[in-house]
Amino acid sequence: MENGDGKLCWKPKEYYHPSPGLQYGIVLLNEAVNKTNVHYVSFLWQHASVRVCVDGAINAYHKLMRCQNTSFESSCCTCPLPEIITGDFDSAKSELLKLYSTLGVNVVPTPSQEETDFTKAIRVLGRFTEERSLAIEHVTVIAGLRTE
């Protein structure tokens, strides 16, 4: 963000507690959502302008944020749908891809192995916002790591 002197200024508080009206996108990577952070991630998700699940992140989104169970039924709505699900889909459950596609979510396969799913997701998000003339100020990426 620019300050009054035309210099770029990083304000981390904006990323953790977005001010009302802030236009931002959120990208969930595989392993990003778990039982310990689901409430905070859900808060950010609900306030985002554009929501993206990358590959296997749709599995955790569905289980922890959307349905709070492992059912594939579409009647358990508690959190907004993603606008985009993208990736090479080597870890996303095919049943979920079909379900969310029927609910109107843009399912965008990016099978190339030349770049990471994250890099490809940022490109897909960029095209999506450009095609719809959406002005987002920043993108919050939620990543996790496997501790097993």
Which tens digit of pLDDT belongs to each residue from 23-48?
899 999 988 788 888 888 888 898 89
Please choose, from the candidates 17, 16, 97, 14, the residue with its C-alpha nearest in 3D space to the C-alpha of residue 54: 97
With a cut of 80, say whether residue 118 has pLDDT above it.
yes
With a cut of 60, say whether residue 75 has pLDDT above it.
no
Query: Phi then psi for 2, rounded to 5 degrees?
Result: -90, 140
Query: What distance in Å separates the CA atoms of residue 118 and residue 98, rounded to the nearest whole number?
Result: 21
Between the CA of residue 19 and those of 47, 80, 106, what are the distances in Å? 10, 19, 27
Percent of the chain with pLDDT over 70: 76
Residue scoring higher pLDDT (53 or 46): 53
pLDDT band at 147 (very low <50, low <70, confident <90, very high): low
Between the CA of residue 91 and those of 56, 121, 128, what are the distances in Å? 5, 15, 23
With a cut of 70, say whether residue 70 has pLDDT above it.
no
Query: What distance in Å separates the CA atoms of residue 36 and residue 16, rounded to the nearest whole number?
Result: 16
Mean pLDDT of the chain: 83
Question: Helix, strand, coil % (nearest 5) of the chain?
Answer: 35, 15, 50
Which two tokens mark 33?
């959502």
pLDDT of residue 22: 81
